[in-house]
Amino acid sequence: RLPGSKPYTIIDFFPKDLLVVVDESHATIPQIGGMYEGDKSRKTVLVEYGFRLPSALDNRPLNFDEFMKMTNQIIYVSATPAEFEIQNSVVGNKGYVPHKRARIGEAELVPFEIAGRARQAVAPTSTENVQRPTLNIQRPTRDRANANTPILQYSSAAVSRTDQPPEKFDVHTPGAPLVVEQIIRPTGLLDPRITLKPLKNQIDETIELCRQRVEKQERVLVTTLTKRTAEDLADYLRDVGLKVRYLHSDIDTIERVEILRGLRAADFDILVGINLLREGLDLPEVSLVCILDADKEGFLRSQTSLIQTAGRAARHVNGEVVLFADQVTHSMEALMSISEYRRVKQMEYNEAHGITPQTVRRAVQESLHTILRGREIESSVIREAGGDFNVTELLRELEDEMQRASANLEFERAALLRDQIMEVKSGAGITKIEPKRRPVKYTRNAGRRRSRV
């Protein structure tokens, strides 16, 4: 192919009308473009300094435009969709509306449609007509110095709500939004309660909340802003008698899995983290999430980050999220609005169908160290017997496959597998399997004619 042309990928093997489901789209969509940009940036330096040939630039993933043109039907799945997904989920969209970001690496815009409503920023010249979400919680006082900041105003939007009949979902009018809510859980669980507490004495409050959950044999997640804070807080909680560990990007990936498994298995009760306690974590035992310094607006305390972090407590019937803040930021406002909106819909559905919320039950996976230790013991036993662990595993798999092929009357495949087993045993110095042959008996002078001299 020509230099700079589109590379061939696995998508080329799919039909043109394939359906692509993008899970956690708010994080996956930026990664699609990021793969190409990161690959290009790295290889460009290598080519310029002569460490790679220029053709290395053509051995690349698809760029974002190429990917979007090859995928005609896409379903974006996310609890916190970005503006890109909302804008491109409309009837009659044959192409795609590009990002509004000025450059690669800049944060994606927050969604302008949340909780079945449209979000608009208005100047706070008059707050009388501004409709704010109603929450039965006590909030900290707003900072008067930020009186000129925009206020979130909500208005109705043509989004398919959970309680809307499917036949009313408009899929024919050009430009109609194709956004569907999916907030009812099979277990009947509600979104976690949101509680606001002041920043003063937030550490002492966290300790008390943690002790209350530990007495109930429940787990706690605590999020901070820096690695140093996470480590220091974990040490402090450990000094006051709590079983705690911390988790951040400096910890090896395998060790992260072990830490999360240990939290579920009650090896410790509290996990302190920064930005890893978000998408993809399934921790049903966690009933409390404490977000320290929640009003420090930024990447770690953005609307998406707060909603995703709060969702870690959504798998427990006693789920609760505590925000420590002295003022309510726009991100916190969005989190509380969405949570209250979903809780109302979920409670109405549960009452209408007689559903009692139940905590998710899921077995704790076996430790990787236990699995690896078991393989080491098995390997040592086989070596002591004079065998090879890897060869023995291979022979076991081949023999099982040969037995299955024979049971399925695939005799040619079974014979091929038998020959492979014989070759492996021969190469490993193991006695060959000789095929059973019918014994032949020879009688003296049988069938012979005596020759005459």
Query: What are the residues facing 156 on neighbouring strands?
Result: 117
Query: How distant is the alpha carbon of residue 293 from its chain centre?
Result: 25
CB 91 within 8 A of CB 173: yes
Q: Which residues contact 144 (CB under 8 A, 6 or more apart)?
A: none
Rg, the chain, Cα only:
31
CATH 3.40.50.720 describes domain 1-99+156-182: no
Alpha helices, DSSP H, located in 111-252: 202-215, 227-239
Q: Which residues contact 281 (CB under 8 A, 6 or more apart)?
A: 260, 312
Distance CA 106, CA 100 (A): 10
Distance CA 87, CA 178 (A): 10
Q: Which residues contact 431 (CB under 8 A, 6 or more apart)?
A: 425
Query: Which pairing describes strands 117-122 and 151-156: parallel, antiparallel, or unpaired?
Result: antiparallel
CB 342 within 8 A of CB 310: no
Report which DSSP code applies to 337: H
In this chain, the answer to whether the domains covering 1-99+156-182 and 193-353 adopt an identical fold is: yes
Per-residue pLDDT of the chain (453 residues; tens, 9 = 90+): 888 899 999 999 999 889 999 999 988 998 998 999 999 999 999 999 999 999 999 999 999 999 999 998 999 999 888 888 888 998 888 888 887 665 555 555 555 444 444 444 333 333 233 333 333 333 444 443 444 433 333 333 446 666 677 888 888 888 888 888 888 888 899 999 999 999 999 999 999 999 999 999 999 999 999 999 999 999 999 999 999 999 988 888 888 888 998 899 889 999 999 888 887 788 899 999 999 999 998 888 988 899 999 999 999 999 999 999 999 999 999 999 999 999 999 999 999 999 999 888 877 766 665 666 665 665 565 555 555 556 777 788 888 888 888 888 888 888 888 888 887 777 655 544 444 555 656 565 555 555 454
3-state secondary structure of 14: coil
Q: Which CATH superfamily is domain 193-353 in?
A: P-loop containing nucleotide triphosphate hydrolases (3.40.50.300)
> Is the entire prediction scored with pTM above 0.85?
no
Sorted by where each begins, the domain ranges of the chain are: 1-99+156-182, 193-353, 389-435
Distance CA 349, CA 187 (A): 12
